[in-house]
Chains A and B, each alone.
Chain A
């Protein structure tokens, strides 16, 4: 197994010499800038839960602490932190503990200390890479004596080196071709061009020599400015998951199998779960959960867990079904498999994928025969425009899936892509009214052409200048999930400021979610046209939870509702709906006329309730309210109370608890 192969050992080597902390008025000093970059970098590592280990070496410190130090050698260089996983202690150190020194030290000496540290602390472990990141303003005296040895050693040990400087190296250096230097886009970010000192120029020469010798081609590209680094680090890094290989055989019938290996290629990244902690002690262990089982009787008699058995609902029945029996009788997946059931036209399986992942299936590694057989299958599917419908079971313990495997051919590789298909039980067959058979909803030619120009103006994909490739202005798959960016931002803030509220969402995150500004400008006109041509009108707020307040709002607002379907007069049929349609005023009129006949009113109310629907409840309640008011006026309180008492028992009887709830909320109580 190559478990450790993806990890990197990194030394952050920071110049804290006195020049680093001096700055022009209004500017941040180099040390602060460097610390910011280090902070961002370490934060990214922490939240990505990276297994890379990080050490910190400072130079220019007042004291000295390193393995190589002797009387006058390697002075003012401090190993601040050994190689270990980054954590919040390190972040706090960077923010608060690392202070500017009053000395200076040779950055080449510092590199040697870093190399020594990397050599010693990585003994016996394997790392993919060992790496030094050096932050300095190059203001301290440097002696080139050891340059050759350093270069030879870096090459020999394979340790890589990056420089982070407050200024670009091609500024004011008087020699060399600027384009061979740092990234071109730096020129767009002008730096405060305070004149570099002679010492710094000398330093630049050394850096140049060093990096150029290390790597003739790209060495100089490993020199970064503070500012560009900050920009690059502003996004939190995504967690790299090691892909897990799933070896299996693809079978077609019982006589043909091809050795394959599959990997998850797309899968929604899951967030860490929140643990519940005690609000006072903040300890997880202080929160215990307890489950009790009790009978459904008046006193809720508790029973022991051991006295309970498992059951399932089968419609209205509850079937006792012990775990053991269930285990015994349940469907058993024989073994892992990737078996073809047949082939179907690819157009028949679109837009109906289930599951939450995609597998990429390849021929097994290091098996030429499998590779050829697999390639034959992929190309056969591709040429016939069909997909394989397969039964896929991850292993014995897992439920089998049905899925579609379709060919995917790239320059570098070819594979099958597997996505789960739904089972019959997963389908919801709903019918929707026809749009094309309803004249009311057919747009006019003008309206259609307005939509046409909207699509033209908002097309995100256009042909590139070469006429062959396409440019896509907006690729969601290149955007990091804003939720995680936000989560990390908040966690980080809370780690240092536990008692402050959450910070606002960072501007660059919000920008990333918006349509490209070119498109925004282009679509203004067409959108105006759409607005003019399509009559759109807000008709009401979303149906919210019905509260008593809504129901008991002022009766004057409770006018006829235009949304309700029109009721046509049916010959001789009595319709409750018609009565229910009436608003409160008409109810009241009706009452005044026939108040003496309370019975009739009570019957109506009953009728509303029979229908068990909130619109009828409202009508019912309106009637009751008017009843109450009139009862007060006519001092017939007892009559109302009797009615209410009767209603209450009726409500209990008919399972109209929700109606009663609304009544109570509306304080429609007894006198």
Chain B
């Protein structure tokens, strides 16, 4: 099983698994069970105006479809338990449970899957628009109120519990019922009902010639989530990337990892919510299917006593660690108790200038805090005061952080972040503090540094020219994970019965040709300044550098005599031998040792104690 875990979760053999992450993952799953699933309905205006091209760009309708399609594919990767649905209004055809005219439910709320993605894919691009027109037609005699009603029916028809309900409305018509006060009133009433039943309604307004005026109609319709209020209206989206940004920001429900107190001292505290803005996306665990029918099989694991064969309950076991040749046994509860240092919370230690934060003191991805009024009212103002002052004085807050009751404390730096919106008035940096985890003394390692040999001014300057030629603007979402992308393309191809999976472009590979072209002669000039003519930096080094790669080296048998082994066993120094040596020794005496070092050592110890 250990192999599996490293195969699916880790970055390979050099990465150790972290228990914390497991806990977090487990938490996320539990979260779903307890709170229910997130759901999102895309409500798309399909009246003629959406299909009118504007200059050279894509039509508003195409932008909406592109965007929805991309949310579907990314949901499959990041949160395939969320429910998505697509509804058109302003169509000639209709399909919905209440038989409203001109409202067409293309997809009811369900998990995104291959077929649904494929269905959406049909309506992308110019061809897609033609197909759409032929299939559904247009009709301007729709009622937005009915469209909203149809959406709310989708939510109540779902058979699982929903935690978060959201409608994203894509349109470029800012006053749909200008001449029909009855329909306008009905739309407002319906919108009010949505609000009352906790359904969020976001407006994704697209480009309208002459500009989209929210105040005409939609101001009374939209229903911004309480915790997402920027105090300003976003601009209309003229480009796909702008729309994508708006949609991305809202497509997942914000979840707190924890809500806890930030204690300034024993009896003065404010409350904050902790969020993960970064969370490693893993390849999902595989499931097991029955070969005959491809149906899902249940996997049950049980523990039993090897001697008696009787089933073991968790309470029939204890936990052990071995140190100094002795197995030390604790109750399971005790292994939890010893992780307990106090109740959860952030405990203020003091303030430090931001400049003393060492960038290379990194042990985990950061988290983020934002004030929380639900535990202590008034927290936001104090939080804001701390944030403003820390930003102004370039200070950070040093805290001791106990994330959960059974989590040992860590020291963290709270680094202030100023809120920032971009030109489209979309938030790109939220206000709050990043939680930067600081290493303990145990986490730092001494390294054997190479003596420095300073380069001359001329050499440094030449390198600066090279660097300048290769500058680009790093954006945090610049790179897709090629491993994940390929995995999901493979699945997609299999699910849809395609012959060949689409090859994902690997953005992590250097664009060598482009780089060489940009650099021109600079590389040669630099080499002439730095490397002697006969120097080959790519050549294998003279020393045993191959050790990590050379298979020849690995096979060298390390013989060890029986006496030596015996003496190691007696002195308890078996651990000094390497795993290959131990393996060979086990093989020599016909011992089954398993793959772990401790297991090999145990086998040998047992053998020599008996023989």
Partner of A315 from the list B18, B80, B431, B455 (CB cut-off 8 Å) is B80
Chain A at the B interface: mostly helix, strand, loop or mixed? mixed
CB distance from B521 to the nearest CB of A (A): 10
Q: Which of B263-307 contact A (CB under 8 A)?
A: 264-265, 268-270, 275-281, 284, 286-292, 294-307
Closest to B407 in A: A483
User: Which B-chain residue is minimally distant from A292 (CB atoms)?
Assistant: B300
Does A129 touch B at the CB level, under 8 Å? no
Q: Which residues of B contact A483 (CB under 8 A)?
A: 339, 341, 408
A158 in the interface (beta carbon within 8 A)? no
Structural contact, A286 and B34, CB atoms closer than 8 A? no
Which residues on the B side are within 8 Å of A641 (C-beta)?
A: none
Q: Is the beta-carbon distance between B12 and A398 smaller than 8 angstroms? A: yes
**How many angstroms from the CA of A354 to the CA of B364 in the assembled complex?**
7
Q: How far is the CA of A538 from the CA of B263 in the complex (A)?
A: 13
Inter-chain contact B381/A441, CB cutoff 8 Å: yes
Stretch at the interface among A61-69, A218-226, A452-460, A630-638: A452-460
**For residue B84, which residue of chain A has the nearest CB?**
A315
When distances are taken between beta carbons in the complex, the residues of chain A under 8 Å from B287 are 310-313, 318
Find B351's partner among A440, A447, A460 (CB 8 Å cutoff). A460
User: How far is A414 from B455 in the complex, measured between Cα atoms in Å?
Assistant: 11
| Chain B residues positioned under 8 Å from A367 (CB to CB) | 541
Q: Provided the pairs A274-B321, A424-B479, A427-B476 are in contact, do residues A339 and B76 lie with their beta carbons within 8 angstroms?
A: no
B296 touches A318 (CB 8 A): yes
CB neighbours (8 Å) of B470 from chain A are 252, 340, 342-343
Q: A288-B305, A308-B290 are in contact. Are A433 and B320 (CB under 8 A)?
A: no
B443 touches A474 (CB 8 A): no
From A240, A331, A455, B487 is in contact (CB under 8 Å) with A331
Q: Is A275 part of the contact surface with B, judged by Cβ < 8 Å?
A: yes
Q: B460 and A270: CB pair below 8 A? A: no
Please report the C-alpha to C-alpha distance between residue A491 and residue B544 in the assembled complex, in whole angstroms.
41
**A27 at the binding interface (Cβ < 8 Å):** no
Number of A positions contacting B (CB below 8 A): 245
A310 to B466, CA, bound (A): 49
**Chain B residues positioned under 8 Å from A610 (CB to CB):** 156
Partner of A84, one of B265, B395, B573: B573
Min CB gap B106→A, angstroms: 16
The answer for the CA separation of A574 and B186 in the assembled complex, in Å, is 12
Stretch at the interface among B56-64, B126-134, B209-217, B504-512: B504-512
Q: Does B382 reach chain A (CB closer than 8 Å)?
A: yes
Complex-state Cα separation, A344 to B462, whole angstroms:
18
Nearest CB to that of B230 among chain A residues?
Answer: A434
Name the B residues within 8 Å of A572 (CB-CB): 189
- Which residues of chain B come closer than 8 Å to A495, judged between CB atoms? 323, 326, 328
* Neighbouring B residues of A310 by C-beta, 8 Å: 286-289
A314 at the B interface (CB under 8 A): yes
Q: How far is the CB of B467 from chain A (nearest CB, A)?
A: 5
Main secondary structure of the interface of B (DSSP, over half): mixed
Chain B hits for A89, CB < 8 A: 324-326
B contact residues around A404 at 8 Å (CB):
474
A490 and B330 within 8 A (CB): yes
A649 on interface, CB distance cutoff 8 Å: no
A531 to B378: give the CA distance in the assembly, Å. Answer: 11
Q: Which residues of A contact B480 (CB under 8 A)?
A: 423-425
A482 and B296 form a contact (CB under 8 A)? no
Nearest-neighbor residue (CB-CB) of A436 within chain B: B419
- Residues A461 and B352 in contact in the complex (CB < 8 Å), given A494-B328, A513-B400: yes
B219 interface contact, C-beta 8 A: no
B305 touches A278 (CB 8 A): yes
Q: Is B484 an interface residue (CB 8 A)?
A: yes
Is A186 on the interface with B (CB-CB < 8 A)? no
- Known contacts A278-B317, A391-B510, A487 near B338 by CB under 8 Å: yes
Asked if residues B349 and A312 are in contact (CB atoms below 8 Å), the reply is no
For the complex, what is the distance from the CA of A351 to the CA of B512, rounded to whole Å? 29
Closest to A535 in B: B378
Assess the A343–B341 pair: CB atoms within 8 A. Answer: no
Q: Across the interface, do B389 and A451 meet the contact criterion of CB distance under 8 Å?
A: yes
A331 touching B482, Cβ below 8 Å:
yes
A573 surroundings in chain B (CB, below 8 A): 189, 192-193
CB pair B288–A311 under 8 Å, yes or no, is: yes
- Bound Cα distance A432, B295 (Å): 42
Residue B179 interfacial (CB < 8 Å): no
Partner of A536, one of B80, B268, B479: B268
Interface residue? B557 (CB, 8 A)? no
Q: Is the CB of A472 within 8 A of B352?
A: yes
List B contacts of A364 (CB < 8 A).
Answer: 450, 541
- Residue in A293, A315, A655 with the greatest tally of chain B CB atoms within 10 Å: A315
Across-interface contacts of A296 in B (CB, < 8 A): 295-298
Q: Which residues of B contact A494 (CB under 8 A)?
A: 328-330, 334
- Give complex CA distance A295, B297 in Å: 5
Q: Say yes or no for A196: interface residue by CB 8 A criterion.
A: no
Q: Which residues of A are found within 8 Å of B371, using beta-carbon distances?
A: 435
A-chain residues with CB within 8 Å of residue B232 when the two chains form the complex? 434, 437
Stretch in A170-178, A376-384, A662-670 touching the partner:
A376-384
Q: Are B467 and A386 closer than 8 Å at their CB atoms?
A: yes
In contact, B474 and A432 (Cβ under 8 angstroms): no
A657 (CB) vs chain B CBs: closest residue: B161
With A and B bound together, what is the CA distance between A530 and B267 in angstroms? 12
In the assembled complex, the Cα of A330 lies from the Cα of B335 at a distance in Å of 39
| A249, B537: Cβ atoms closer than 8 Å | yes
Query: What is the distance, in angstroms, from A527's C-beta to the closest C-beta of chain B?
Result: 6
Does A317 sit at the interface, judged by CB under 8 A?
yes
Within 8 A of A (CB), among B347-399: 348-353, 356, 359-366, 370-371, 373-390, 393, 395, 398
- Mask, A245-258, CB within 8 Å of B = 1, is 11101011111111
Chain A residue contacts of B409, Cβ below 8 A:
482, 513
Contacts of A3 in B (CB 8 A): 576
Which residues of B lie under 8 Å from residue A294 when comparing CB positions? 297-298, 300
Contacts of A286 in B (CB 8 A): 305-307
Task: Flag if B329 contacts A373 (CB, 8 Å).
Answer: no
Bound Cα distance from A239 to B352, whole angstroms: 30
**Shortest beta-carbon distance, B73 to chain A, in Å?**
9
> Are the C-beta atoms of A269 and B510 separated by less than 8 Å?
no
| Contact residues in B for A51 (Cβ distance below 8 Å) | 573, 575-576
Q: Which residue of A lies closest to B526 (CB)?
A: A256
19 CB < 8 A contacts A-B? A83-B571, A87-B324, A246-B548, A257-B537, A266-B443, A277-B318, A311-B287, A313-B284, A369-B530, A377-B463, A432-B430, A434-B229, A436-B384, A459-B352, A495-B326, A539-B376, A540-B374, A610-B156, A612-B156
The 9 closest A-B pairs by CB, nearest first: A437-B231, A398-B12, A483-B408, A316-B113, A476-B411, A344-B474, A87-B324, A316-B111, A376-B455
Given contacts A307-B290, A477-B440, 11 further A-B contacts (CB under 8 A): A87-B325, A275-B320, A284-B320, A287-B306, A314-B114, A351-B415, A397-B13, A438-B229, A440-B381, A451-B382, A516-B350
